Structure 1
Amino acid sequence: MKKSTITAFALLSLAVSVNAQKGWTNLFDGKSLNGWKKVAGDAEYKIEENAIVGITVPNTPNTFLITDKEYGDFVLELEVKIMDTTSNSGIQFRSQYDAAGNKGKGKVFGYQYELDPSSRKWTAGVYDESRRDWLYPLMLNPSAQDLLKTGVYNKVRVECIGNKIKTWINDKPAAYVVDSVDAKGIIALQVHSIGKPEMAGKKIFWKNIRIKTSDLKPASFPSNIYTVNTIPNTLTEEEKKAGWKLLFDGVSNKGWKGAYKPGFPQNGWEIRDGELRVLASTGAESTNGGDIVTEEQFSAFDLSFDFKLTAGANSGVKYFVTLSENNQGSAIGLEYQLLDDTLHPDAKLGRDGNRTLASLYDLIKADKQKRFIKQPGEWNSGRVIVHPDNRVEHYLNGIKVLEYQRGSQAYRDLVALSKYKVWPAFGEAKQGYILLQDHGNAVSFRSIKIRKL
């Protein structure tokens, strides 16, 4: 054996020893696919320069190289190289494999660390492959969107401890999800299907794949990075420390009252199964229980809420409600529209779709794709951010769908064309209540949380 070979072997042995001392286990030995198997598709996997290389082929669904073992709590680290911006891939974790799925071709589903070099820039977001779609689109953390570099290796880190999932890209924090659907599962490397023959032969490289499963300590995460918490009506300790508080505790109407009323409505609303529900009546505004508002007023804030529509339903979440107008019907305020766009006629009224789901009602249309809309009977997540400089953003299921600035000339020009033109300085109050609308249709709310900015 040559001296150089002996030295290389010694260094490799030392690296393995150091990994073992720190509790790390290598999932890839650098020279073979031992411990892995290809499933669900026909893309190619091979070894090049101590890396696993995935190669796209035409006419095949997504292909996965999966581990022989399942893992529960762990920290996973590896390096990934994507050659250009036209590719897409992912790293599955705590995922499941159904050999009988997809008509016997096999199906992988579950959590995925997204690898997305396209102009969308959602690398390190969390996707639920072949199941729930996006859990954490990286639009929720713009500070991490420019961190992936093509043509070079990037460092990936995934931490799964209990029901908390955290991701990093090149040592920068990216996504934080709290979810309890899968407590353990396989790890897999994805080669995405391709739609065009000229995309064949694209490569993605993975190397230095290692995992730690014992003596785990949660890594800190910046408090300003938004947490997607799918456990209804709960806050993590990190969320509490960051200033979040629940506006609905899941069991009572504490913190709410009827609009223009001294207390909570005696009828028209119910709390059941952790949901705050407005009950169906005539389909008209505030003719049954009426709207409800928070007892507290807010100025700059980050508000999140889950909502579930019934077929054909109409409702809304309003903000900067002052209750100073003493008007008939629903109280006046800026409105995040809640609507079944398919069945309710209001979707075709207004101007250019500005009364559709997630729109700033009667003012600005939400720019949304159909794939990101959950249909009636399913839970959607809404979010409204009002920045201290009066910039306002609406999100639907983690996707920003509109942005405007209260009090700007552009905003006032829109108000002048709307039904709100009769109200002086509409929507420009320094503070106001949060309102849930009774529009006579059955709608459910949960996980209503807010953080003052």
Structure 2
Amino acid sequence: MRNTKYWMSLLVACLLTGSVSFAGEWIDLFNGKDLTHWENPYDWGKAEIVDGEIHLTTEKSKWFLATKKEYSDFIFEAEVKMPEGPSNSGFLFRSHKSKNKMFGYQAEVDPSSRNWSGGLYDEGRRKWFISPNRDHAASKEEQLQSIAEFTKRVGTSFKRDDWNKYRIECRGDHIKISVNGVTTTDIHDQVDSKGYIALQHHGEDGQIYRFRNIRIMDLADE
């Protein structure tokens, strides 16, 4: 009885102090104040906190702000707002990190007229391989069909001049991406089962990429 009371007291204390987390609960990856969960693996690029948002800028080229921790099965949510003019971004997930380099799955943020936001790009490897399949289709007809099916799914879900909420779900080889509540990608792929999450700046000098409300539900131990 005495041991039971001790462990219950310890559990309550941990919960009150926020010192432990459990699979299936939301964890803030950004608290609006600091970049505790994040690091820049590049020799360039700048991440600043402005009014509770992460602002990414660069004077050189494309870079990614990455999580310090790897994740396998999870639900990830974040909001992104793109600058006016030419720009492109994305959320890497289950990705790989080394000095001045990241590659892997990327949920596309595309404010151009093409509107491929919510598509699945394979950064540094297969490029557009499935959703939509522009680079690995067996024929031109198959390519055009894949693009048409994707743009029909996406519709007008992405808001060019507003905040956009992304949701990425990974369970085993099942990958699902949603933009503002609209499912844009729902596929199975086995190339990567674990890796880092990262926020992309595409490299345009002077452009500010803004991110907020970033959180994750780790499902690895469920």
Instruction: Extract unaligned runs of 5+ from structure 1.
Output: 1-15, 100-105, 195-199, 218-453
Distance in 1 of aligned mates of 2:41 and 2:75: 24
State the 1:149 CA deviation.
Answer: 1.0
What amino acid maps onto 2:124 in structure 1?
Answer: S
Query: Structure 2 residue aligned with 1:51, among 50, 53, 57?
Result: 53
CA change 1:215–1:56 in 2 (3 A) is closer
Pairwise mapping of residues 261-410 of structure 1 onto structure 2 (< 5 A)?
none
Query: Structure 1 residue aligned with 2:198, among 188, 209, 222?
Result: 188
Identity in percent: 40
Question: 1:173 — aligned with what?
Answer: 183
Q: CA offsets per residue over residues 284-321 of structure 1, 9 Å max, x none?
A: xxxxxxxxxxxxxxxxxxxxxxxxxxxxxxxxxxxxxx
Normalising by structure 2, we get a TM-score of 0.77
Query: Structure 2 residue aligned with 1:211, among 191, 207, 216?
Result: 216
State the 1:215 CA deviation.
Answer: 8.3
Question: 1:229 — aligned with what?
Answer: none
More strand by share: 2
Distance in 2 of aligned mates of 1:129 and 1:207: 23
Distance in 1 of aligned mates of 2:23 and 2:42: 36
What amino acid maps onto 2:120 in structure 1?
Answer: V
CA change 1:41–1:61 in 2 (3 A) is farther
Query: Structure 1 residue aligned with 2:151, among 130, 142, 157?
Result: 142
Question: 1:153 — aligned with what?
Answer: 163
**Runs of 4+, deviation exceeding 3 Å:** 19-22
Pairwise mapping of residues 87-166 of structure 1 onto structure 2 (< 5 A)?
87-99=87-99, 106-135=100-129, 136-137=131-132, 139=147, 140-143=149-152, 144-166=154-176
Distance in 2 of aligned mates of 1:206 and 1:28: 9
Question: 2:63 — aligned with what?
Answer: 63
What amino acid maps onto 2:151 in structure 1?
Answer: P
Normalising by structure 1, we get a TM-score of 0.39
Q: Secondary structure at the match of 2:157?
A: coil
State the 1:213 CA deviation.
Answer: 1.4
Distance in 2 of aligned mates of 1:114 and 1:155: 12
Question: 1:411 — aligned with what?
Answer: none
Distance in 2 of aligned mates of 1:41 and 1:180: 31
What amino acid maps onto 1:24 in structure 2?
Answer: W
Distance in 2 of aligned mates of 1:162 and 1:186: 16
For the aligned residue pairs, the C-alpha RMSD in angstroms reads 2.4
What amino acid maps onto 1:211 in structure 2?
Answer: I
Instruction: Tell me, yes or no, if the aligned pair for 1:40 and 1:62 is still in contact at 8 Å.
Output: no
Instruction: Tell me, yes or no, if the aligned pair for 1:40 and 1:61 is still in contact at 8 Å.
Output: no
Distance in 2 of aligned mates of 1:107 and 1:21: 30
Q: Secondary structure at the match of 1:86?
A: coil
State the 1:22 CA deviation.
Answer: 6.2
Whose Rg is larger?
1
State the 1:55 CA deviation.
Answer: 1.7
What amino acid maps onto 2:87 in structure 1?
Answer: S
State the 1:47 CA deviation.
Answer: 0.6
Distance in 2 of aligned mates of 1:87 and 1:211: 26
Instruction: Tell me, yes or no, if the aligned pair for 2:23 and 2:217 is still in contact at 8 Å.
Output: no
Q: Secondary structure at the match of 1:39?
A: coil
Pairwise mapping of residues 31-46 of structure 1 onto structure 2 (< 5 A)?
31-40=33-42, 42-46=44-48
State the 1:41 CA deviation.
Answer: 5.1
What amino acid maps onto 1:92 in structure 2?
Answer: L
Question: 1:24 — aligned with what?
Answer: 26
Distance in 2 of aligned mates of 1:215 and 1:69: 13
Q: Secondary structure at the match of 1:42?
A: coil
Distance in 1 of aligned mates of 2:45 and 2:53: 16
